[in-house]
A and B are shown apart, each in its own frame.
Chain A
Amino acid sequence: MNPPPAAAPAVGARIPVVAVAGNPNTGKTTLFNRLTGSDQKVANYPGVTVERHTGRMRLPCGREVSVLDVPGTYSLSARSREEEIAIHSIAGIDGEVPPDLVVLVVDATQLSRNLYMALQVLELEVPLLVALNMTDMLEARGESIDVEALARGLGAPVVAISALKGRGIDDLVSAIERTLAAPDRARPGARWVPDSAELRADLDHVAASIPVEWTRGSQARARALAAWALLSIDEHDELRGVPDALRRTALARRAQTTAQGRHVDAEIIRGRYAWIDARIESFVRSSARARSATERADAILMNPWLGFPIFLAVMGVVFMALFSWADPAMGVIEGVFDGLSGLVRGAMGPSIVRDFITDALIAGVGSVVVFLPQILLLFLFIGILEDTGYMARVACLMDRVMRTMGLNGRAFVPMLSGYACAVPAIMATRTMERQRDRTLTMMVVPLMTCSARLPVYTLMIGALFPATLVMGFAPTQALLLVAMYLFSTLMALAAAAVLSRTMLKARSVPLIMEMPPYRRPHWASVVRLMFQKARAFLSEAGKVILVCTVALWALLSFPKDSGVETRRAELATEVAALDEAAATPERDAQLERLGAAQSELDGQALRSSYAGRLGHAIEPTIEPLGFDWKIGIGLIGAFAAREVFVSTMGVVYGLGDADETTVTLRDRIRAEQRANGSPVYTPLVGLSLMVFFALACQCMSTLAAVRRETRTWRWPIFLFVYMTALAWVASFVVYQGGRLIGFT
């Protein structure tokens, strides 16, 4: 097992590629993280929005190796884009570089099923190294695997590891080094050869049509790819990059065998399993009753009566955490950044540079960092749910409901998180396997009533709707708020139903979901996940958010009117002088007057800024919704984050700093008049505005998060356009419909 270390590699040799592959739930990604540490890169595979994770690792001899995290797959036949990519990466076909070594992560507790894939890799003559994971769990149930026998049986090196606990990683790294230096040690391994002459003839026939770039001159590889082609190619396979000649040959041959009453698929799969079954007894020592702990836990957690209440309780905790536990931390972050702005303001004289630093840079960074508590908390829970195996049960329990929307049960946690904030919810879509499901969820999550909409609703409801009781007991204002939640939920469900039948229509794929055994969460990897997500958000989405904040600031602050600026400077000097003076009632009254004059100037400046002009420019488009150009400025400001609408309106109306509970702002809203003396804000306008906020994509952070997750601008642009159009139409219907039936 331990030959002397290999000779040093040739100088200038190309960097070898090691592909880490395996079934889902085998700890493949944990191992990938162990091998590469933080030295990872994420990009998309060419032409598809499937992420390609690569990293670098250094072997003990000093040689650098590129490591590829291949999407998890049960076999080398594809049911999804992700699996297709896994196959191309392992086989090195259709433009993918053939790996120098495949490290196949094998779940020791499910050996025969995992060896099925090992056989496929061996058939392709790709050098294989088996990383036998979860041996500790196998031992815990009284079984063990004879590593030497397995290595002999497969003809490939086998190393027992525990990816979670980091056991055996050094051995694995040395094995990678040895195998890369002498790839023949891992090739040609054992392989399955069909017993039946008929099947052998089929394979030989199709093998002749495999392109030579794929076979690289090997007859055995040609036969293995022929088996893949016979198993995978059919009239609706959606496979890309299959040469026409191969497609025709494979289809014709399969039709021929079907006509003979044979089932080639079953023959090939059964053949491989027969090979495994003939040897498995020599690999595994003793057999005990398996999974008893998991079955006992599931007897409670998936109990027809208890399962659902327990599920609701667990989800309740996750939701409460996002909705309210994150609040104190977010308050602290906001406080810190406000304090920082205050310090800068105190240290520098009034100038455009100071405003840029405080209102654009510090505010921008603050608006990125403020998402961290929710992101960290959500991924803490997702890490625990995934690690323990409960996430698969959540998916099971919610499958029925989510299916009606064209989604599967795994979309539930992101959807629920959307009620707190769309940004972490969009990041949480990563727990779904199919890109199409992820995209669909991302397209509807921003419709959920997130907490940033609440200040807008509170302001409108508080200012425009009476605090009366409906039918003598139900408070009108609270009912309205509940109605807004229901409305957004129904719209999200409807949007999912429509999108899944149109833009994101996908052939329905019957669900096949593995139920992993329950495990204790591994805290180090949970924490790792949390910080990985936080870092990715800061570095990728953060940049977009920062740029947008600066752009919005410029829009709201320029052009500067010299008259206003001079008057503002004078006021500042007067205030500074008075601040020094002794406190008297007259001084306080004077200060208040000056403060009001400053706020009025701020309002003047904003109204004449680019955003103000833009408000005028968009007025014709928002007038049919009942909004005037000042509300238009609020809508522009709200793009930074919905709650900014409230403070922007405060400035527009010359009231200075205001929040949704500020009495003067509510009064001002009630008093605001149009040119003809009629009030701007009626309950109907308030309703129209709330409907607009419920549906419009007034959130650059959401768009930045979608951009990060889909790695294209196409989806964020689509999201923005469809939500804005939906909001406009809905507000139009509410306002014009309301007027038709006699409201003003």
Chain B
Amino acid sequence: MLNTSNILPGQRARLVQIGGERSFRRRLMELGFLPGTSVRCVRRVGVGGLVEFEVRGGHISLRASEAVALVFESDR
């Protein structure tokens, strides 16, 4: 299983589930992070810092420590 702490830059993955606080989950879904959607990890900034994702053509950065409840499965 992939999550925000072990997904690699450049890796494309399918979002399986989002956890965490409801308003956080809801906003992520509104930005296109719906379970089943294909997302790409663009880069990681610093150790334990931010992770940038591409979803629906937009680029969104999340704190790895706060987005622990995002679970992905490898797309290929």
Contact = CB atoms under 8 A, between A and B. Distances in A.
Contacts of B29: 265-266, 269-270
Interface in A509-563: 509-517
Nearest to B54: A291
A357 interface: no
A290 interface: yes
A11 to B, nearest CB: 44
A390 to B, nearest CB: 14
A166 to B, nearest CB: 26
Contact of B57 (A77, A79, A110, A400): A110
Contact of B45 (A74, A265, A302): A302
Interface in A100-133: 109-110, 112-113, 116
A110 B56 contact: yes
B34 to A, nearest CB: 6
Contacts of A266: 29, 34-35
B45 A511 contact: no
A74 B56 CA distance: 14
Nearest to B47: A400
A396 B45 contact: yes
Contacts of B31: 74, 113, 512
A110 B67 CA distance: 23
Contact of A112 (B22, B26, B32, B35): B32
B23 interface: yes
Contacts of A231: 26
A512 B28 contact: yes
Contact of B34 (A110, A269, A512): A269
Interface in A270-314: 270, 273, 290-291, 295, 298, 302, 304, 307
Contact of B60 (A116, A234, A269, A512): A512
B16 to A, nearest CB: 13
Interface in A408-463: none
A397 interface: yes
A237 B22 CA distance: 9
A231 B30 CA distance: 11
A512 B27 contact: yes
A498 B60 CA distance: 30
Contacts of A302: 43, 45
A75 interface: yes
A204 interface: no
Contact of A511 (B35, B43, B61): B61
Given A231-B26, A234-B22, A511-B66, A397 B57 contact: no
Contacts of A509: 23-24
Interface string B25-69: 111111110110000001101101110100011111111001100
Contact of A75 (B25, B30, B63): B30
Chain B at the A interface: SS class? mixed
B23 to A, nearest CB: 5
Contacts of A334: none
Contacts, number: 104
Contacts of B62: 510-513
A399 interface: yes
Contacts of A511: 50, 61-63, 66
B29 to A, nearest CB: 5
Contacts of B32: 112-113, 273
Contacts of A403: 63
A399 B52 CA distance: 13
A425 B15 CA distance: 41
Contact of B26 (A77, A295, A298): A77
A234 B21 CA distance: 11
B46 A79 contact: no
A401 to B, nearest CB: 10
A265 B24 contact: no
A113 B28 contact: no
A113 B24 contact: no
B35 to A, nearest CB: 7
A74 B58 CA distance: 12
Residue from the set B21, B31, B58, B60 with the largest chain A CB neighbour count within 10 Å: B58
B52 A515 contact: yes
A113 B50 contact: no
A79 B25 contact: no
Given A396-B50, A510-B66, A510-B67, A77 B30 contact: yes
B67 to A, nearest CB: 7
A396 B58 CA distance: 16
Contacts of B28: 512
B12 to A, nearest CB: 14
A75 B27 contact: yes
Given A79-B27, A396-B45, A512-B24, 15 more contacts: A74-B30, A77-B23, A77-B26, A109-B57, A110-B56, A113-B58, A269-B26, A270-B29, A399-B50, A510-B21, A510-B67, A512-B27, A512-B31, A514-B60, A514-B61
29 contacts: A74-B31, A75-B30, A79-B24, A79-B27, A110-B57, A113-B57, A116-B30, A234-B22, A237-B23, A265-B22, A265-B29, A269-B26, A269-B34, A270-B29, A298-B43, A400-B48, A400-B49, A510-B20, A510-B24, A510-B63, A510-B66, A511-B61, A512-B28, A513-B61, A514-B59, A514-B61, A515-B52, A515-B60, A516-B59
